[in-house]
Amino acid sequence: MGCAGTKASLEYGFETDAKKAKKINAYFSRLVALEEFNGVVLVYNNTDKVFESAFNVNPDKTGSSFIDVSSQFDIHSISKLMAKAIIIDMENRNLLKRSDSLGKYLSEFPNGDKITIQHLMDNTSGLPREPNLIGLDKRDLSNDEIIAWAKKETLEFEPGKGKQYSNVGYEVLYYLIGKLHHTTFTSYLENQYFPKLEMISSGGHFYTKKTNLVNWAQNHQYENGLAQVDNINEYVYKQSMLYSTATDLQKFIEHIKQEPYISLLKNNNGIVSWTGGAEGVRSHVQYNVDKDYSFIVLANFDDIPLDSIVETLEKIMEGKSFEMPKAVERTSIFLSEEVLRKYEGTYYFAEANHLVLEFKVEDSHLTIYQDGQLLTALMAENETTFFYDQSSKESIQFQLLHPKSQILFDWKGVTLKGIRK
- Rounded to an integer, what is the distance from CA 145 to the centroid of its chain? 26
CATH architecture of the domain with residue range 337-420: Beta Barrel (2.40)
Give the mean pLDDT of 74-89.
97
Q: Could you write out the DSSP letters of every residue in 207-237?
A: SS--TT--SBPPPEEESSSEEE--SS-TT--
pTM: 0.86
Burial-class residue 134 by CB neighbours within 10 Å (0-12, 13-18, 19+). exposed
Taking only the tens place, the pLDDT of each residue in 133-163 is: 777 888 888 899 999 999 999 999 999 999 9
Contact 271, 254 (CB under 8 A): no
Give the mean pLDDT of 241-270.
96
Number of other residues whose CB lies within 10 A of the CB of residue 260: 12
**Residue 356: CA count within 13 A, CB half-sphere:** 6
Taking only the tens place, the pLDDT of each residue in 18-31 is: 999 999 999 999 99
The yes or no reply on domain 74-317 and CATH 3.40.710.10 is yes
Taking only the tens place, the pLDDT of each residue in 335-362 is: 999 999 999 999 988 777 678 899 999 9
The Cα–Cα gap between 131 and 185 comes to 19
pLDDT level of residue 14 (50, 70, 90 thresholds): low
Give the domain ranges of the chain.
Answer: 74-317, 337-420
**What are the respective helix, strand and coil percentages of the chain, to the nearest 5?**
30, 25, 45
